Amino acid sequence: MAISRRLFIQGSAVSALGLAAGVAPQFSFAADSKDAIKIASILDLSGGLDIYGKPMSNAINLAAEEINATGGLLGRPLQVINYDAQSNMQLYAQYAQQAALKDKVAVVHGGITSASREVIRPVLDRFRSLYFYPAQYEGGVCDRNYFSSGSTPAQTVEKLVPYAVKKWGKKVYVLAADYNYGQIVSAWVKKSVHDNGGEVVTVEFFPLDVTDFGAAISKIQSAKPDMVWSALVGGAHISFYRQWHAAGMSGKIPIASTVFGGGNEHIILSPEESNGILVAANYMQEIPSPENKAFVERFHARYGANTPYISDLAMGAYQGMLIWAEGVRKAGDIERMKVIEALESGVTLTSPSGKLSVDPATHHCSLDVHIAEVENHQMKILQTFTDQAPVDTAMVCDLKKNPRDTKQYQIEL
């Protein structure tokens, strides 16, 4: 039986908001406070996707603690209700409804896969509960009740493909998870490779529970591409990298990905299995900025020095909380439409990942992108783009003109 876990966040000694390091004022809130602002976190804390969900949940709870340490929002403490969706779509639907109707939360932060997002989103639209999606994803969702705090392929694929094509060559073999994310990202890769004078020779899709990649590796060996593009997702798909190395392919045909590392694959795999893979993401723990170094220290102080590597997905969850909190401050209220309108008036802030701004027309973020190479369990940053990449060049979403839009637009080849 699934159980939702409730956590009341009390004061912490350090603030993330405007105080990169140092001691913040202490505020004490009674755990039974009737004035608490309730927030729902709906993530996979168990099941096949918990490698993503656990650090994301930690990031949301840390953000709430830090906000409470500076007096909460509007003089009220934040109360996080953590639901474990157990990598089960039915539980996502159940908890989204419970959060909206029973717990009456001010906002829901949750969903990892595109499938889980598309289960939550219509429920929260129906019950008029504000929704923040914290993961990097395939892009295109247009919904006034929805905000995305992660990156899209227009920001990551469009940066990594030209870098990799120039470095390795123009013949690309794509492996992708067989659901909405993998299918749409593969289309982005095909477009970007073509735009850079290259060719995608094959796109091969795999269900999330597939663990045997022997046949795929044989096909790649026969095709002899200049590189492999991986849009593989989840714990089962880690098997590909191990089998790739076991087949003697490490170092022979290079790999690029905009999802590798999201589940700490570069920590779970050995250096021999992962060194040399190129990655693009909004966040990497190695970002050398003072804001990020202070954040990493706070995260480790809160969850232990041996806590897993802080992933791009965890940062998406953390900065989603910062964006929502800034909307509440600007609105002077937690009421859904007032917060939406406040965010649509323009919000820019600096998070550990760099500068980010909410795009009023799409409710997505313009943000920094980093390209890195995996090296001995680390992300060696090779290039950083601070040009505030367009949110989604293929998206025709404009919520200013069409506030009732609730579609997901897809790239056209």
Helix residue ranges per DSSP H, 44-97: 50-69, 89-97
Interval 267-298: pLDDT, tens: 999 999 999 999 999 999 999 999 999 999 99
Interval 153-167: pLDDT, tens: 999 999 999 999 999
- Measured distance CA(122)–CA(128) in Å, rounded: 10
Compute the mean pLDDT over every residue in the chain, rounded to the nearest whole number. 90
CB proximity list for 397: less than 8 A, separation 6 or greater: 140, 141, 142, 361, 362, 405, 407, 409
Please report the pLDDT score of residue 3 as a whole number.
35
Which pair of structure tokens corresponds to residue 13?
């000694």
At residue 33 the predicted structure's pLDDT band, cuts being 50, 70 and 90, is low
Is pLDDT at 202 greater than 90 in this prediction? yes
DSSP character string of 295-312:
HHHHHHHHH-TTPPP--H
Closest among 224, 406, 307, 272 to 57, alpha carbons compared: 307
Angle among Cα 391, 392, 398 to the nearest 5 degrees reads 85
What is the dihedral sign for C-alpha 325, 330, 331, 337? negative
Tallying the residues shown for the chain, one arrives at: 413
Please report the pLDDT score of residue 69 as a whole number.
97
Is pLDDT at 17 greater than 90 in this prediction? no
Which pair of structure tokens corresponds to residue 82?
């953590």
At residue 413 the predicted structure's pLDDT band, cuts being 50, 70 and 90, is low
Compute the average pLDDT of residues 390-409. Answer: 84
At residue 48 the predicted structure's pLDDT band, cuts being 50, 70 and 90, is confident
Is pLDDT at 109 greater than 50 in this prediction? yes
Is pLDDT at 236 greater than 50 in this prediction? yes
Is pLDDT at 31 greater than 70 in this prediction? no
The helix (run of H) or strand (run of E) holding residue 182 is helix 180-195
CB proximity list for 331: less than 8 A, separation 6 or greater: 338, 339, 341, 342
At residue 13 the predicted structure's pLDDT band, cuts being 50, 70 and 90, is very low
The helix (run of H) or strand (run of E) holding residue 116 is helix 114-126
- Counting residues of the chain whose pLDDT is more than 70, the rounded percentage is 90
Please report the pLDDT score of residue 411 as a whole number.
82
Q: Could you tell me whether strands 199-206 and 171-177 are parallel, antiparallel, or unpaired per DSSP bridges? A: parallel
Give the other-Cβ count within 10 Å of 210's Cβ: 17
Q: pTM score, two decimals?
A: 0.89
